[in-house]
Structure 1
């Protein structure tokens, strides 16, 4: 059995994955329906796959003594899941319990994980890694959460910059709290 791999990413309508402005988390657009959806999507067992940069950005929240009670339920579940970090520069032990480092070629590592894992693989963010995996045909689903904002001045990191051409089969489209779209696609290389 082959495990599925989901590239899960948050985006503005104009395609930015994050910002350097005063928007706050979720660009200030989270609502109870959306947060309940995220918690449900992270309820069943899964393995996170992260690049070194995304791991490093989350590492401060994992140190001893950090108050995790403020996290949304889905983030708590993400931090409790087993994690594979793809990195040639990080070394073990890492502060995130259940985390292993794979220093090999990311395409080979993810191919092996898909063949060996008994739970789905999921990656949140990790843009550079997931662009390469998408281009290599290793991403089974792309789940884009589109927040109703344009961040042309403060937007950072275009979600799909540098990816090849893909046709996207829409598997599911849902609206939460009257304004946030979660779109799930199956990618297929165009042409």
Structure 2
């Protein structure tokens, strides 16, 4: 009965949106008009969706704000135990099965496309834990698991199956080719690719 009442309240509150009946949406989430949320999606209380945002099936969102008319495809997950905030601008596209890590903050500008599947933005590394044999439940594990924010400017395209490492900045109007590992900052108007990603060419020539 409680679930039925909650669903009724949710649909009344967001009557200008399309929310699949299997989606789990917190009543505390901020959802503006004309949004759609797909089957089995999970929307936590600390989520804000701007006008016209489209959320695909099996998406799991927490600690995130998404700008107007952005699209999050099926299977996208926000993971990690940290308190990092994710901010995605307007008119952005996030492809299927991509991963965002909340170990630190992630800032994404407007008109950014991150293709799927399997592009991951990681704000932490556990390399030191591994090399120094630190147990997973060690009470001081944070000392061996450094974090850093990721920043992506406006009008950036990132191909599928890419990995972005902690602390990197991708400046405006840049392109990351598919299957790349971004380990250092990328200048504006630049195409990069490879493992690790290197400059392919300037885009303003």
Larger Rg computed on CA atoms: 2
User: Shorter-normalised TM-score: what interval?
Assistant: under 0.3
Which fold has the larger relative contact order, with Cα–Cα distance below 8 Å and residues 6 or more apart in sequence? 1
TM-score (norm. length: structure 2)? 0.19
